[in-house]
Chain A
Amino acid sequence: DQQVKQNSPSLSVQEGRISILNCDYTNSMFDYFLWYKKYPAEGPTFLISISSIKDKNEDGRFTVFLNKSAKHLSLHIVPSQPGDSAVYFCAASLIHFNKFYFGSGTKLNVKP
């Protein structure tokens, strides 16, 4: 049973526009969430995180929103750049356990 789901396997966006990647989770006990970016032939790299005590965290062009009642988080990239083209994974954990559960990823393509 997958506890973290990314229902969109792919997303295509024009350069300069907003990219919105979505993630849903089922375990209401999760209290820490991350987004990772993965280029082909490389391991995932950490992008941004949010704890359950917040509903928004911003880092430059990247903003993560958390809606606990809906068990939903999203990653906004504004403005999108061609270099953002990659697979994006969301992950959730119980912070004190340090175990992360990953979604299946969304492949973002930013068109020039």
Chain B
Amino acid sequence: SAVISQKPSRDICQRGTSLTIQCQVDSQVTMMFWYRQQPGQSLTLIATANQGSEATYESGFVIDKFPISRPNLTFSTLTVSNMSPEDSSIYLCSGGGDGGDYTFGSGTRLTVV
């Protein structure tokens, strides 16, 4: 399975600022996804990161708030823009092939103060 390096592992940010989270995969993967896990809740899919085109966002998530890049098959970034305390969460990227055993990054624990 692919190995995903995600950074930063944690950050404390001021409200109104933005944070970019990076995920680097050690091999090419067809699909990459970004999730959010708020305390005591499920992993919620934010968007599918599409290589070379705009990401596909789930209901409740918009590009202006969570811009995503995927310049190639091994790298993706998620930016959390204009942050508020409600954005405090763990953010995870995931990558894999067709319907298979996806691997995850180690997560970014974001605290907005």
Contacts and interface: CB of A to CB of B under 8 A. Distances in A.
A and B bound? yes
Interface of A: 2, 4, 9, 32, 34, 36, 41-46, 49, 89, 91, 93, 95-96, 98-105
A96 B105 contact: no
A99 B42 contact: no
Nearest to A93: B99
22 contacts: A2-B42, A9-B40, A34-B101, A41-B106, A42-B107, A43-B4, A43-B92, A43-B106, A45-B104, A49-B101, A89-B42, A91-B43, A95-B99, A98-B48, A98-B96, A98-B99, A99-B48, A100-B33, A100-B45, A101-B42, A103-B42, A105-B42
Contacts of B48: 98-99
Residue in A46, A89, A95 with the greatest tally of chain B CB atoms within 10 Å: A46
Given A36-B104, A43-B6, A43-B105, 4 more contacts: A2-B42, A34-B101, A46-B103, A93-B99
Given A42-B106, A46-B102, A99 B92 contact: no
B44 to A, nearest CB: 8
A100 B102 contact: yes
Contacts of B4: 43
Contacts of B102: 46, 100
Given A34-B101, A98-B31, A89 B106 contact: no
Contacts, number: 58
B102 to A, nearest CB: 7
B1 interface: yes
Contacts of A102: 35, 42-44
B64 interface: no
B21 to A, nearest CB: 12
A40 to B, nearest CB: 10
A24 to B, nearest CB: 13
Nearest to A96: B99
B56 to A, nearest CB: 9
Contacts of A43: 4, 6, 92, 94, 103-107
